[in-house]
Amino acid sequence: MSGTPTPVLARPAPNAGGDEELFERERASATPRATSPVSAISPVPAGASRAAPATDATLAAMQRWFMTVITDPDSVAHGLARAQRTLAGQVVVDGPSLHAAGCLSVYHFAYHARLVECLLDDFPCVNYLCGELGGEDSFEQLARAYIHAHPSRHPNLNGYGAGFAPWLRRLRRPLLHRALLADIASLEWALVEVLHAEAAPILDPQALAAIPMEKWGGLRLQPAATVRLLTTAYAVNPLYQAWRTDEPLVIPPAAVATVAVYREGYSLWRMDCSPLTAGLLRDLFAGRPLEVALARCARAGSDVPDLVPRVMEWFRTWVASGFFARIG
Amino acid sequence: MTLPAGNRWKLPNLGIGLGLRTTHYRDILDSWPEVGWFEVISENYLETAGRPLHILDRIAERYPVVLHGVAMSIGSTDPLNIDYLSKLKNLKNRVKAPWVSDHLCWTGVAGKNSHDLLPMPLTAEALEHTVARVRAVQDILECPLMLENPSTYVAFAADQMSEWEFLSQLCEQADCGLLLDVNNIYVSSRNHGFNPGDYLAGIPWDRVVQFHTAGHTDNGTHCVDTHIGPVRAEVWALLGEAWHRAGGASVLLEWDAEIPDFATTWHEALRAEDAIAAWNGRV
């Protein structure tokens, strides 16, 4: 259905995806993939002496000092200048071949590199577009600004990118194609969420078929944990698909669009939705009774010929695709 | 065949294993190679209920799987994360892990997480603090915790003891075990200028349940534990000596950057057999 001129009438079949291994990432590891450039670390003659008496600070104070230095957005030197205001005495010492600041820069580099890599893993299309769209900000610059604004506060990195799209949207400084980049980030994050969602049982079509017709009107359907309905200011799914398949990218004009991101088994899929199908799905996911959702759909699609059989077909596709977890 | 294991808990020597990485999933699932065991980074299978966990379940049906974490932050002055530990325990039970390990380090403070293995000040205060936390973790997990010696790049002016003295006292006072990373010993020895032999001489060997080995990057002025490339000869030599001192223990290769195909990675891991056989008995 992607790219069709008459999306209202098109069949809402899976149109893009099927990815399994693409999104498997080892976010946690003992070491980031990148290593610090040697040139960034200045050596010191072996046996350099200590500059000041050792601090008598507590373990907690030394740890806060250390974090201040290695998470400084600018540099170790800047971090040291800030941290030294809070602690008297020397905290770390020169190594045999490196100044103390050089030793700390290994950690300063790793802190930023690991989180930038995590965001790169989650938002590869945003990264690509940052390069292609010719804006002043590289993805790494954006990522570093996000890391500074949103330091990780969780032991697991799987959710670290959750705030990236909203943060992009709220970014105060000028950013070329900001709304589009934020929409792409929302789509990529929906894929991450669906990847990690619980593989719970989905609604059995036969169980649905066994329900007497007279009770259908009052049915409410629970959405599955493995589906997301994403409405954006730009039609980002065709753009994302073009990026995935290495086709020429055409920046779409602003036009509200909805895409369903979902998992069948362990494969990820994306399905463009017309305004009519998006509205119906939104009502169903919100827990509206079937008869209410269908009535609203009928009003919205009053000019659509053969609406009833089309709705039946959409419904069958959604159930077969695992959009619903259960009745009730 | 039962392999020798000298640890006090009689935890098994699983032989030679590999760190499970996504790039090798397909090879493993297609051919079920004769690998002794797999170690997984715990956090990669927490906070997810999708395909990664499904694959881990399949692998755990056929191989021993050990959990190796990077986020326990055992040395932090922040409170222990009980939610994390609860999930870790569930994962341990799910894959029937014979033991659980993490690092002697802290990963963050004041609620902020660096996701890095940050060095401990080697002080009496830090030791007392870490002992109490290891005991608490072991009570929650209901199993001995194995702590790995990290690679470190900086030393604290307040240090009061060597890392091996700290580890030895920690093991004794908290009744925990050791995952001895011989590559980390080598890397830290280069960065701090100590003799790796002194390190090995200070290890309580009946606490060693597992070894790590890996490649590193030598930058001249300092070495970085990058887990890249083949294991260096000096590190293999350390493994040979350490394995015999421990009376045998499980050995694992970590390869995390520019990971080659499965066959090449496994071939590298098997070089541990040569290192163990080559040790000439000198201590």
Task: Give me the mean pLDDT over the A205-216 stretch.
Answer: 89
Residue of B nearest to A263 (CA): B50
CA angle (A2, A7, A13) in 5-degree steps: 60
Separation between Cα atoms, residue A318 and residue A306, nearest integer Å: 19
Between residues B1 and A294, the one the model is more confident about: A294
DSSP E strands in chain B: the ranges are 16-19, 37-41, 65-68, 100-103, 106-109, 112-118, 145-148, 155-156, 177-181, 208-214, 217-218, 223-224, 250-254
Cα–Cα dist A173/A176, whole Å: 10
**pLDDT for res A6:** 29
pLDDT above 60 for A43: no
CA proximity to B103, closest of B76, B142, B64: B76
Cα–Cα distances in Å, from B127 out to B120, B167, B169? 9, 9, 8
- How far is residue A201 from each of residues A14, A198, A204, B273, measured CA to CA in Å? 20, 9, 9, 46
Mean pLDDT, chain A, integer = 87
The pTM for the full model equals 0.92
What is the Cα gyration radius of chain A? 26
Spatial distance between the Cα atoms of B232 and B243, rounded to a whole number of angstroms: 17
Verify whether the Cβ–Cβ distance B41 to A159 is below 8 Å. no
Round to whole Å and give the CA distance between A129 and A175: 12
Tokens 């409405």 map to which residue?
A: A231
- Give the residue extent of every domain in chain B: 19-280
Query: Which of B50, B110, B257 minimises the CB distance to A197?
Result: B50
The pLDDT of A242-259, averaged and rounded, is: 94
Distance CA A6, CA A232 (A): 19
How many whole angstroms separate alpha carbon A152 and alpha carbon A114? 11
Of A171, A181, A173, which is closest to residue A139 (Cα–Cα)? A181
The CATH number of the structural domain formed by B19-280 is 3.20.20.150
Given a contact cutoff of 8 angstroms between Cβ atoms, the answer to whether B23 and B264 are in contact is no
pLDDT tier, A173 (very low <50, low <70, confident <90, very high otherwise): confident
Min Cα separation B50/chain A (Å)? 5
Average pLDDT over residues A250-275: 94
A-interface mutation test, from B115, B120, B227, most A Cβ less than 10 A away: B115
Residue A39 has pLDDT above 60, yes or no: no
Contact A35 B103 (CB under 8 A): no
CA angle (A238 as vertex; A233, A244 as ends), nearest 5:
125
Residues with Cβ within 8 Å of residue A314, at least 6 apart in sequence:
A11, A12, A277, A280
Cβ contact, residue pair B155, A24, below 8 Å: no
CB count within 10 Å of CB B162 equals 15
pLDDT value at residue A55: 86
What ipTM did this prediction achieve? 0.96
The Cα-based distances of A100 to A80, A83, A118, B102, B158 in angstroms read: 11, 14, 28, 26, 14
Contact call for B227 and A66, based on CB within 8 A: no
Tokens 């690679």, residue located: B151
| Interface contact flag, B158 A154, Cβ < 8 Å | no
Reading the block at residue B151, the tokens are 């690679």
What are the φ and ψ backbone dihedral angles of B17, each rounded to 5 degrees? -135, 180
- Counting runs of H as helices and runs of E as strands, what totals does chain A give? 12, 7
Q: Which residues of A touch B47 (CB under 8 A)?
A: 156, 158-159, 196
Model pLDDT, residue A122: 96
Q: How far is A210 from chain B (nearest CA, A)?
A: 30
Which tokens is B199 given? 């390190």
Tell me B105's DSSP state: S
Share of chain A above pLDDT 90, in %: 69
Are the C-beta atoms of B130 and B120 separated by less than 8 Å? yes
**Where do runs of H (alpha helix) occur along chain A?**
59-70, 76-83, 100-122, 124-132, 139-149, 164-170, 178-196, 205-209, 236-244, 275-285, 290-300, 307-320
Type and span of the H or E element at A93:
strand A92-93
Q: Name the 3-class secondary structure at A94.
A: coil
Strand, helix or coil for residue A155:
coil
Residues comprising chain A, all counted: 328
Q: A19, A20, A21, A24: best mutation site toward chain B, by most B Cβ within 10 Å? A: A24
Instruction: Give the pLDDT score at A7.
Output: 31
Is there a contact between B222 and A95 if contact means CB atoms under 8 Å apart?
Answer: yes
Burial of A74 (0-12, 13-18, 19+ CB in 10 A): exposed
Mean pLDDT of A235-247: 94
Of A172 and A49, the structure prediction assigns the larger pLDDT to A172
Q: Which residues contact A14 (CB under 8 A, 6 or more apart)?
A: A264, A269, A270, A271, A321
Tell which wins on pLDDT, A262 or A18.
A262
The pLDDT of residue A33 is 64
CB pairs below 8 Å between A and B: how many?
Answer: 201
- Asked whether the beta carbons of A272 and A241 are under 8 A apart, the reply is no
Measured in angstroms, the CA of A273 and the nearest CA of chain B are apart by 25
Put simply, the answer to whether A100 touches B103 (Cβ < 8 Å) is: no
Ranges of residues in chain B with a pLDDT under 50 are none
Distance from CA of A118 to the nearest CA of B (A): 11
Torsion of CA A82, B81, B53, A152, to 10 degrees: -20
pLDDT band per the 50, 70, 90 thresholds, residue A230: very high
- If one counts every other C-beta atom within 10 angstroms of the C-beta of residue A116, the result is 21
Instruction: Give yes or no for a contact between B196 and B236, defined as CB atoms under 8 angstroms apart.
Output: no
Residue A55, φ and ψ in degrees, nearest 5: -65, 150
Round to whole Å and give the CA distance between A299 and A303: 9
The answer to whether B210 touches B149, Cβ cutoff 8 Å, is no
Residue A28 pLDDT grade (very low, low, confident, very high; cuts 50, 70, 90): low
Q: Among A43-52, A110-119, A308-317, B266-275, where is mean pLDDT lowest? A: A43-52
